[in-house]
Structure formats: structure tokens, C-alpha cells
Structure 1
Amino acid sequence: MPARIGLLTVELYIGGCRSLKEKRQVVQSLTARLRNDFNLSVAEVDHHDLHQRACLAIACVGNRTDFVNQVLDTVLERLQSEGRIVLLETTLEVL
């Protein structure tokens, strides 16, 4: 059975951050929670030099497309419920 790889790319606005250090704390906390709660790979892939923006790539591997979609949809719901961030753009691909 072939493996399915899901990639969720999320552009975030992080309100209230006044420095890159403060942004780093928010992003590291968020990525650690996603890794621990969902067993995913998470990386900040863009906007490293902007203190109120971040782009995260979130990857999930499974043996069924519906499983991968379900996990990444749940991750998206979790991100939408985060009080400190606003989702600007999302892209979901399953390979």
C-alpha cells in the first residue's frame, strides 16, 4: 500500500509581537504543541525576518488519504482557535 503525504502550508499573522524574539517564542510554542499533539513535522519556512508574520509547513504521513486529510483538517481547526494568531492563507496538498 502506498504512503500518503499531506502538506499543509499556513501563513500566519501574529498580533502584538514587537520583536523577532517575541515572534520566535510564539512560533516555537505553537510548533511544539502541534508536534506533541499530532505527531507531525512542523517547520517555519518563510517570513523569518518579519516580526508579525510566519509561514509554517506541516507534514503528515499515513497510509490512507482520508486519514491524512482528517489529521490536517483537525490541525487547521486547532490553528483557527488559537487566540493570538490569524490565518491569512492556507494550502493543503496530498501526494
Structure 2
Amino acid sequence: MLVGTMVITINLPGIRSLKEKRKIVKSLVERLRNRFNFSVSEVAANESKLQAVIGLAMVSDDGVHIERQIDKVSEFVHADGRFFVSRIEREMFSVEE
């Protein structure tokens, strides 16, 4: 079994409140869940209105599939004009069954 993970750090310039930030982050999390079938959550910087850290994970027996999906997620978040991506960390590892 393989597990692919991503941690995406986004910056949200011009955001005036946590409520405004949370609306954007919630929308992004839902879109990533629905479109790419990852487990997704905001994992850090919860109280910062200018930054968000989103964690994603996928389990599969096919490493190529995980890599493709991670690439698609990366393209998707870079194309979103509501924020800019400051960092993406990716990792894949094997879990013994």
C-alpha cells in the first residue's frame, strides 16, 4: 500500500478578516476533495488571515496514479487566482500491510 501526501502553503494577500480567509480555504478544500478524491484539511496557520496550510493524503496501490493526481492538484492550486502558492511539499511512502 502506498500513501501520497502533499502540504500546500498558500498566501492570501489583501484578505481583511479570518472569515474571508476561511471562506476561500473552505471552498478550496471542498473542491480538492470532490475533484481529486484526496483526504484534505487545513492543518496549520488557522488563526493567520494571510496564510493557510492545506494537507492532503491519498492511499493507493499504484504509485504512478498517486504521482499523476499530485501533479494535477499542484496545477489546479497554481491556477486559482484567489491566492498564490508559496510552497508545496510532496511525499510518497510505502506502508507494510
Q: TM-score, normalised by structure 1?
A: 0.94
For 2:34 and 2:89, how far apart are their aligned partners in 1?
22
- What is the aligned partner in structure 1 of residue 30 from structure 2? 32
SS at 2:16 equivalent: coil
Matches within 5 A, 1:8-87: 8-87=6-85
**Contact 1:8/1:91 (CA < 8 Å) preserved in 2?**
yes
Alpha-carbon deviation of 1:53? 0.1
1:31-69 per-position Cα deviation (integer Å, ceiling 9, x unaligned)? 001111111111111101110100010111111111101
SS of structure 2 residue aligned to 1:71: helix
Question: Match for 2:19: what amino acid?
Answer: K
CA distance in 2, matches of 1:14, 1:6: 26
In structure 2, distance between residues paired with 1:30 and 1:14: 13
The alignment partner of 1:17 has SS state of: coil
Q: Are 1:60 and 1:72, in contact at CA under 8 Å, matched by a contact in 2? A: no
User: In structure 1, the residue corresponding to 2:40 is in which secondary structure?
Assistant: strand
Unaligned stretches of 5+ residues in structure 2: none
Structure 1: runs of 5 or more not aligned: none
Q: Distance in 2 between matches of 1:35 and 1:77?
A: 15
Indicate the percent of aligned positions where both proteins have the same amino acid: 33
CA contact 1:12–1:55 (8 Å) conserved in 2: yes
Runs ≥4 in structure 1, deviation > 6 angstroms? none
- Structure 2 Cα separation of the partners of residues 82 and 15 of structure 1: 13
Deviation at 1:17, TM superposition (A): 1.1
